[in-house]
Amino acid sequence: EMRLLESGGGLVQPGGSLRLSCVASGFTLSDYAMSWVRQAPGKGLEWVSAISHSGDDTFYADSVKGRFASSRDNAKQTLYLQLSSLRAEDTAMYYCATHFPHCSSGSCSYFDHWGQGTLVTVSS
């Protein structure tokens, strides 16, 4: 069974930093491009970042560009999201998710398997 387990969330002051981790099990992480998606309490979904299979290519939402950084260690089956210069509006549950592998062209950036999330709260 494919599983994703996020960790690293918590309470942080505005301007602070956190590193989120997402550990994959039940599949080979290097077979999948991955994304981070967040959801503020009681609000909708917001795509945050994507990273290619190898980690060579990364993409970001305008709202986090220059402040967040995605990386991965396929040997450790782990995905990372470094959050910096945090703001109150970054408060959300952060999910990692696999990209859907069955589009006509192969893998495509829809989100198939999701972790249970890790909560980031930015407050003084």
Partner 1 sequence: EIVLTQSPATLSLSLGERATLSCRASQDINNKLAWYQQKPGLTPSLLIYDASNRVTGIPVRFSGSGSGTDFTLTISSLEPEDFAVYYCQHRYNWPHTFGGGAKVEIK
Q: Which residues bind partner 1 (CB under 8 A)?
A: 35, 44-47, 50, 59-62, 95, 100, 102-104, 108-112, 114-117
CB 36 within 8 A of CB 17: no
Phi-psi region of 13 (alpha: psi -120 to 50; beta: other; left: phi over 0): beta
Q: Which of residues 12 and 33 has its CB atom nearest to partner 1 in the complex? A: 33
Task: For residue 62, give the DSSP letter.
Answer: T
Closer to partner 1 at the Cβ: 44 or 66? Answer: 44
Rounded to a whole number of angstroms, the minimum distance from the CB of residue 49 to partner 1 is 9
Cβ neighbours for 10, distance < 8 A, ≥ 6 positions apart: 18, 119, 120, 121
Smallest separation (angstroms) from partner 1 to the CB of 115: 8
Give the nearer residue to partner 1 in terms of CB position, either 44 or 124: 44
Rounded least distance, CB 108 to partner 1, Å: 6
Q: Name the residue nearer to partner 1 (CB basis): 24 or 50.
A: 50
First CA to last CA distance, the chain: 40
Q: Report in angstroms how near the CB of residue 50 gets to partner 1 at its nearest.
A: 7
Token pair for 60: 């970001």
